[in-house]
Structure 1
Amino acid sequence: MKWNLRLAAANRGIWKASELQRMLAERGMVISAGKMSGLWSGQPNSVRLDELDVICAVLGCGVQELLLPEPDSVPAPEADDQQRKAAGQPPSVAPSVAPRPRSGRSLPPR
């Protein structure tokens, strides 16, 4: 997914992150300068759904304008074993699963 806040804001005449931050604060969404920088730059660490609601309400847009799908960036699925054999490739080996010890817990009684 591509985050498209800056373009959505520009389409509504909002050119500065500080201006959008003030508008969001008026709607009850007070965020730090660091979080606003991430939202504005196109690389947010996370966006909660309630924050997305406020952003959409302030900009008067839908989620589809803020989040643009990028299906070409999704890796293709690996071929299954039968397709591999037909192509002359060795079958894939499933990774072995090993239990991990949990620290601070005792073992169950025997």
Structure 2
Amino acid sequence: MRWNLRLAAANRGIWKASELQRMLAERGLNISAGKMSGLWSGEPASIKLADLDVICAVLSCGVAELLIPEPDKIQRVDDQQQTSAAVSSGSGPAVTPKRRDGRSLPPV
């Protein structure tokens, strides 16, 4: 999925993140400057559905305009299995398990 907030806002004449931040605050969604920067300029790591509702209401748009699917970036399950099989059959060094508590294993 590609996050498309900036273009959706620009299509409605909103050119600055601070302007959208003010509009969201008027609807009860107070977003910090740092989070607003992440929403405006990049891909947010996460977003609450309630926040997404407010953003859609302010921009008068649907979720489909904010989240653009990118099916070409998804690998098929068969491709993933072939890739993992190729990696696991490599001639690299053997992996030795280690204890989780950091202690060494007894000698063999």
Residues 1:46 and 2:58 are matched in the alignment:
no
How many residues were matched structurally? 89
Give CA deviations for 1:59-82 in whole Å, capped at 9, x if unaligned.
000000000000011112126x9x
Residues 1:3 and 2:8 are matched in the alignment:
no
Residues 1:76 and 2:73 are matched in the alignment:
no
Task: List 4+ stretches of structure 1 deviating above 6 A.
Answer: none
**CA RMSD across the alignment:** 2.6
SS of 1:78's equivalent? helix
Of Structure 1 and Structure 2, which has the larger fraction of its residues in helix? 2
Kindly state the Cα deviation for residue 45 of structure 1 after the two structures are TM-superposed.
1.7
Query: For structure 2, which runs of at least 5 residues remain unmatched after alignment?
Result: 90-99, 101-108
Preserved contact between residue 6 and residue 42 of structure 1 (Cα < 8 Å)? no
Q: Percent identity?
A: 71
TM-score norm. by structure 1 comes to: 0.71
Give CA deviations for 1:27-71 in whole Å, capped at 9, x if unaligned.
000011111001001221211100000000000000000000000
Preserved contact between residue 5 and residue 42 of structure 1 (Cα < 8 Å)? no
TM-score norm. by structure 2 comes to: 0.72
Residues 1:29 and 2:23 are matched in the alignment:
no
Q: What letter matches 2:48 in structure 1?
A: R
Q: What letter matches 2:67 in structure 1?
A: L
Q: What letter matches 1:10 in structure 2?
A: A
Q: What letter matches 2:60 in structure 1?
A: G
